[in-house]
A and B are shown apart, each in its own frame.
Chain A
Amino acid sequence: MAAVRKLPFWAENILLPSLNLLAAFVVSGLVIWGLGEDPFLALSLLVEGAFGYEEAIGYTFYYATNFIFTGLAVSIAFHAGHFNIGGEGQAMIGGLGLTLAVFLMGDASPFLSILIGIIGAAVFGAAWAYIPAYLQAKRGSHIVITTIMFNFIASALLAYMLVGPLQRPGGQMPESADFPDGVALTHIHELLSYIGISFEEGPMNVSLLIAFACAWGFWFLLWRTRFGYELRVAGQSADAAAFAGISVPRMTILAMMVSGALAGMMGLNELLGEQLRLLGNFTLGYGFVGIAVAFMGRNHPVGIVLAAVLFGALYQGGAELAFEMPSITRDLIVMIQGLVILFAGAMEHMFRTPLNRLFERFASQEAV
């Protein structure tokens, strides 16, 4: 008799993710306890390591920047009804595009080089996503399969470029020459010092602001433009899209290209912000974690930014924790991150049914 009732907004968007996170931490705590360490101390070290001092905050947000880009990338494809697993590869190729653009500009003004570099990252990422999107839209090849395959191709291509044409002259490592002098994004602490605020030096850079801008743009595009409306209709119902004269294949291709561009822009933070050269493995799985970020962020930019900060904190705080507690190794940190992904992503709905029941009982009692 009970009608299917939806959870209230706050329970859906705050309580449920918190419960998932809590479950991940409880299981992690049990493992840490099993290793003979104090889980509460570990937690406080993790939080301290992520937010306790200025440098830590800088690193947390530095990592979060990557996750904002890749989370948004996964999410926009998801709104169009597709699961883009290829964020990792698109980020690699985006980084390649950025590097090529920067070197192409040579000794032009750094500002122009950066601008063209950003465009290069977005265009290359979009182009790399275009191919699977085209295959899905026109040939029906499943995008999940093709994007995974394209990750491998991207990785191989990047490796080839870095031990071949792009390798640092005389170098032995799979990395490119350094970017020309001055071709780097300004650090946030430098920006802050211009306005008289002193902040500890760190890798956090302007790409964080660009990521925030992308998050806002993402919201505006999806909920305030016709393109976003059509994209969401196509993602929700192919029949309704046809009825409304919206071409689903076209939306698939465009959404995936925006997705690829966002993933590609991850290189802004890593390459233009910190490394100042192209590295073979600079993506470090951020593209994959973007999937968890998108899910945990409920595919809304505000949620994605929050989830990205959480994962940034796990990366930074986890590193500190591994440093402070010798029996907690880096692998264990990866496990904790994995648990968060497991509970927040894969088992996202575990608490939904009990929570639903609870709310139903509550509501029926109220009715009585």
Chain B
Amino acid sequence: MRKAALTTVSTVAGVVLLLSLKPHTDTPTTAPPAVAAQPPSPSSAPSSSPSSSPSSSPSSSGAAAAPSPSTSHTTSAGPTGTYTGDTINTRYGPVQLAVTLSKGKITAVKALQTPSGDGRSQQIASYAVPQLTNETLQAQNAQIDTVSGATYTSDGYVQSLQSALDQAGV
């Protein structure tokens, strides 16, 4: 085997697509979930169509937005709302997903941006990630081709980063 180089990136670095918000998740203390909150939107019907419009309005100063679902209805059963993930720089171009949660369960995943996307990137870029994450991501240049992780089910795949990469590549 040829030498494999392993680069550790910070826990929330790279590809912070989604959620980290499941009530049962034993979240480490190293970082908050790196998702930016948006108000829940009734327009976020289940859809993964890359061509659908983002459900939020543009923000020009969201770079310091708190990662907590502050505008969402957080209940004891889990958060409700639409969460915009960090933009993933795949080798095909940027990919970004939005995930809609209802009481902590995923009800919709929407691709806000794909490499074939049409100028939405500027709007998307205004959604914040912690600066540290961004720096780490840039320092490591964490462009990835694929993802290894615990075996997902056929249903779990839909929410997976690998699914986003597959969509980006075709």
Do A and B share a complex? Answer: no
Give the interface of B toward A (CB within 8 A): none
